[in-house]
């Protein structure tokens, strides 16, 4: 064969763009990014979900049958499951025994079966079954892939052997050439071979193709026809490669280019005059796409660096929140909102490099886990405190009930007042038990004071004297004539001290008298605080202006709800004392009306808060 038939194409240049030999292609890069997205979103969604929800998600992944998805998600799901298992065991107070403790039960057939005392054993067994199912599916898939590649290798080696045999035939040239064409078609249709044999098999194939052209005596007419067909096919490949330059999706264009190069390898030689020009044309189109791909890849790496810096910043903020000293529920709720906002912001940031992305994610996840673990411990302690408060209130009820039949009016009154003060200081209990225990305590107090009213004969004369003294003081304040700031201040201080020194008045007159006193003091001495301590401790105007208002409507409503709860507690506490005075029915009715109105307002606020939360 002439030199024209040899070296049919510059095959050494093909390997430069062969996507099986590149160290890292864009196709792999995109697949990694997509799977990393899937894994991270899956972890974010599963981090606070229940064990059964995690099992459901894992089963859905297996049912979809996407091997790439299963491979990338199985181990992260496993990690999330065991974190949730540990969290729920702690919440349930379950402690792993030093050695397995099982009970033995007899089945209907008389066989003994071990039953675990671990309440989480069944759900953990279910997860292990799913994970074993995944391992089986993965193993079967990998084995099938490897077996298919081995089959492809055997098929391609057989094709090479048949091409080799064609070179030795002495039959009709037309029939031989048709057989050669059929073998080329079979080669192109056969899938990939094991990576270790790719280069060797391809080079062997190319060698025997060239040998066929060299040793089979093809007439010039048939050879020229073959060259023409090959040229037409390669011109079409050039046009497709050139069209890729207008493709906006660089990744898609690059992946398509790899396929065009694979197709180029499968076509035979062209005539000598066209050989160099057609290759240069295809190579020029390849260079355009490769350059755009390289620029895209470099830009992606820069974005990954920026994403890593941004995510590291979120990690620092999350760690600061996780370390913050928090001692009340409102502050925990505020910090939770801050952390949730960080998690939302995290999802808007792209990926870091493969080596950094998992590390920075684990750092962020660790900070979030630490915060929510601390929050969970706080609320567990808070529930324990409410339980202790309830036990303390029950003890106060028992003490009040022990005194409710006493006829030692003076000593018992003082003791019940002391118990009522302890009640105020004992702290909150759960809403479900609050009304019940309060009614029990109030009933005991009312029983005693009703008996005292019947047997004592009315209001303490000392209280009446105090009422007269305070009434006289109010009249003196009304008659006071202002002089100057210093004199007025001294006079106001004197009125204030005298008022506090007088003592208690009948309960039904208390609110009216106090309101009248405050009104006249505000009128005569507008710049004088009724409580000097309040004036000393009050924030300056400029400091008050700096106080931050509640950040959201929900927080405002919660603040109003707590204020109303405090008012309700005060009203209900005060009404227990009114039985000490005679003819207090009108005052009790007014206070009961306030109680009813406050309860309605609390219910409305609670509904609005729930609406906002939903």
- Provide the mean pLDDT of the chain: 76
Greater model confidence, 329 or 281: 281
Q: How many CA atoms lie within 13 A of 101 on its CB side?
A: 7
H or E stretch at 58? helix 51-64
Residues in the chain, total? 614
- Do residues 211 and 227 make contact, with C-beta atoms less than 8 angstroms apart? no
- Only one residue has tokens 């064990």, namely 51
Q: Using CA atoms, how far apart are residues 576 and 514, in angstroms rounded to an integer? A: 20
Which secondary-structure segment (H or E) carries 112? strand 112-116
Specify the pLDDT at position 108: 45
Residue 117 in this model has a pLDDT that exceeds 70: no
Helix (H, G, I), strand (E, B) or coil at 202: helix
Residue 548 above 50 pLDDT?
no
DSSP state of 482: -
Around Cβ 527, how many Cβ atoms within 10 Å?
9
Q: Say whether 65 sits in a helix, a strand or coil.
A: coil
At 486-536, the pLDDT tens digits run 888 888 988 888 888 887 777 667 788 888 888 888 888 887 764 444 444
Query: 95: which 2 tokens?
Result: 């402690």
| H or E stretch covering 103 | strand 102-106
- CA–CA dist 353, 308 (Å, integer): 8
Average pLDDT of the residues in 451-478: 74
Whole-number pLDDT of residue 541 = 41
Per-residue H/E/C for 256-279: HHHHHHHHHHHCCCCCHHHHHHHH
**Could you state, in order of their start, the residue ranges of all structural domains in the chain?**
47-218, 383-551
Angle, nearest 10°, between helix axes 329-348 and 354-403? Answer: 160
List, for residues 555-590, the tens digit of each pLDDT value: 788 778 777 776 776 666 566 555 444 455 666 777
Q: Scanning the structure block, which residue is given the tokens 């071990």?
A: 114
Could you identify the residue written with the tokens 């992946």?
A: 255
Secondary structure of residue 48 in the 3-state scheme:
coil
**Angle at CA of residue 387, ends 382 and 393, nearest 5°:** 125
Task: Give the integer Cα–Cα distance in Å for 425 and 439.
Answer: 17
Residue 206 in this model has a pLDDT that exceeds 70: yes
The answer to whether 477 touches 524, Cβ cutoff 8 Å, is yes
The CA-atom distances, in angstroms, between 317 and each of 320, 338, 457, 499 are 5, 10, 68, 54
**Would you list the DSSP string of 134-182?**
HHHHHHHHHHHHHHHHHHHHHHHHHHHHHHHHHTT--S-HHHHHHHHHH
Supply the DSSP string of 244-260, one letter for each residue.
GGG-S-HHHHHHHHHHH
The answer to pTM > 0.85 is no
The pair of three-digit structure tokens given for residue 369, joined into one six-digit string = 């886990």
* Matching residue, tokens 């069944």: 122
- Closest to 499 measured CA to CA, from 466, 465, 532, 524: 466
Question: What element of type H or E holds 115?
Answer: strand 112-116
Assigned token pair, 234: 């390669």
Report the DSSP pairing between strands 102-106 and 112-116: antiparallel
- Going from the C-alpha of 52 to that of each of 2, 82, 600, the distances in angstroms are 74, 12, 40
- How far is residue 57's CA from residue 44's CA, in Å, rounded to a whole number? 13
Q: Are 5 and 223 in contact (CB under 8 A)?
A: yes
Q: Answer whether residue 264 shows pLDDT above 50.
A: yes
Nearest to 168 by CA among 182, 153, 180: 180
pLDDT (tens digit, 9 = 90+) per residue, 301-322? 888 889 989 989 989 999 898 8
Backbone dihedral angles phi then psi of residue 114, each to the nearest 5 degrees: -80, 130
56 phi and psi angles, rounded to 5 deg: -65, -45
- Residue 483: both structure tokens together: 């002089």
594 compared with 538, residue with greater pLDDT:
594
Q: What is the pLDDT of residues 372-430, one digit of tens each?
A: 888 888 777 777 778 888 888 889 888 888 988 888 877 888 888 888 888 888 777 77
Separation of alpha carbons 419 and 413, rounded Å: 10
**For residue 5, what is the DSSP state?**
G
What token pair was written down for 192? 């990939």
β-strand partners of 113: 105
Secondary structure class of 363 (helix, strand, coil): helix
Residue written as token pair 């709800």: 561
Whole-angstrom Cα distance, residue 87 to residue 51? Answer: 10
CA distances from residue 194 to 3, 16, 17, 152, 260 in whole angstroms, order as listed: 34, 20, 19, 9, 21
Q: What is the C-alpha separation between 155 and 167, in angstroms, rounded?
A: 19
Token readout for 571 is: 């009203």
Please give the pLDDT value at position 147: 86
Among 87, 75, 68, which Cα is nearest to 42's?
A: 75
Tell me the per-residue pLDDT of 212-258, one tens digit each, with 9 for 90 and over.
776 655 556 667 787 888 889 889 889 998 888 888 888 888 888 88
Distance CA 162, CA 152 (A): 15
CA–CA gap between residue 419 and residue 311 (Å, rounded): 56
pLDDT, tens digit, 9 for 90 and up, residues 134-191: 888 888 888 888 888 888 889 888 888 888 887 766 566 667 778 888 888 888 888 8
Residue 4 has pLDDT above 70, yes or no: no
Which residues are within 8 A (CB) of 441 and not within 5 positions of it... i.e. 6 or more apart? Answer: 393, 396, 397, 400, 423, 576
Q: Are 284 and 293 in contact (CB under 8 A)?
A: no
Tens digits of per-residue pLDDT, 67-116? 777 887 888 888 888 888 888 777 777 777 655 544 444 444 444 444 45
Indicate if the pLDDT at residue 24 is higher than 50.
no
């Amino acid at each position: 064969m002439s030199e024209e038939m040899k070296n049919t194409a510059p095959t050494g240049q093909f390997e430069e763009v062969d996507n099986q030999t590149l160290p890292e292609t864009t196709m792999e890069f995109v697949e990694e990014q997509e799977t990393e997205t899937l894994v991270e979103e899956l972890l974010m969604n599963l981090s606070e979900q229940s064990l059964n929800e995690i099992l459901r998600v894992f089963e859905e992944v297996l049912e979809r049958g996407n091997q790439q998805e299963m491979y990338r998600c199985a181990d992260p799901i496993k990690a999330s499951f065991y974190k949730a298992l540990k969290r729920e065991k702690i919440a349930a107070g379950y402690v792993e025994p030093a050695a397995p403790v099982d009970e033995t039960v007899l089945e209907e057939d008389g066989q003994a079966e071990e039953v675990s005392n671990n309440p989480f054993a069944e759900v953990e067994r279910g997860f292990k079954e799913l994970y074993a199912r995944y391992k089986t599916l993965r193993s079967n898939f990998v084995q099938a892939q490897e077996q298919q590649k081995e089959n492809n290798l055997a098929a391609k080696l057989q094709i090479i052997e048949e091409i080799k045999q064609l070179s030795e035939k002495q039959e009709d040239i037309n029939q031989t050439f048709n057989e050669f064409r059929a073998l080329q078609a079979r080669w192109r249709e056969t899938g990939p071979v094991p990576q270790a044999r790719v280069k060797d098999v391809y080079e062997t194939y190319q060698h025997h193709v060239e040998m066929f052209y060299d040793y089979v005596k093809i007439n010039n007419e048939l050879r020229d026809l073959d060259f023409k067909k090959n040229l037409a096919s390669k011109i079409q490949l050039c046009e497709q490669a050139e069209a890729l330059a207008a493709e906006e999706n660089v990744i898609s264009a690059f992946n398509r280019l790899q396929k065009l190069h694979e197709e180029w390898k499968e076509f035979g030689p062209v005539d000598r005059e066209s050989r160099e020009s057609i290759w240069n044309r295809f190579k020029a189109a390849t260079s355009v796409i490769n350059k755009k791909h390289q620029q895209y890849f470099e830009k992606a790496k820069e974005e990954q660096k920026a994403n890593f810096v941004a995510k590291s910043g979120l990690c620092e903020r999350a760690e600061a929140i996780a370390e913050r000293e928090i001692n009340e529920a409102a502050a925990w709720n505020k910090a939770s909102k801050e952390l949730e906002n960080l998690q939302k912001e995290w999802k808007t940031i792209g990926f870091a490099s493969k080596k950094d992305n998992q590390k920075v994610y684990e750092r962020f996840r660790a900070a979030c886990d630490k915060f929510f673990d601390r929050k969970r411990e706080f609320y567990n302690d808070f529930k324990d405190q409410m339980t202790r408060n309830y036990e303390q209130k029950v003890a106060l009820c028992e003490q009040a009930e022990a005194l409710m039949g006493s006829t030692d009016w003076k000593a018992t009154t003082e003791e019940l007042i002391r118990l009522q003060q302890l009640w105020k200081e004992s702290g909150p209990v759960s809403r479900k038990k609050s009304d019940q225990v309060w009614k029990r305590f109030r009933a005991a107090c009312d029983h005693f004071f009703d008996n005292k009213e019947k047997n004592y004969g009315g209001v303490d004369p000392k209280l009446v004297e105090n009422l007269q003294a305070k009434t006289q003081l109010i009249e003196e304040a009304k008659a006071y004539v202002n002089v100057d700031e210093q004199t007025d201040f001294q006079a106001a201080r004197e009125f204030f001290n005298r008022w506090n020194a007088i003592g208690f008045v009948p309960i039904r007159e208390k609110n009216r008298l106090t309101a009248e006193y405050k009104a006249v003091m505000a009128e005569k001495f507008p710049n004088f605080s009724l409580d000097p301590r309040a004036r000393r401790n009050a924030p300056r105007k400029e400091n008050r202006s700096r106080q931050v208002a509640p950040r959201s409507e929900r927080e405002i409503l919660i603040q109003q709800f707590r204020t109303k709860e405090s008012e309700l507690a005060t009203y209900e506490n005060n009404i227990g004392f009114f039985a000490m005075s005679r003819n207090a029915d009108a005052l009790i009715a007014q206070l009961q009306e306030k109680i009813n109105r406050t309860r309605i307002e609390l219910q409305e606020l609670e509904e609005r808060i729930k609406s906002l939360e939903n």
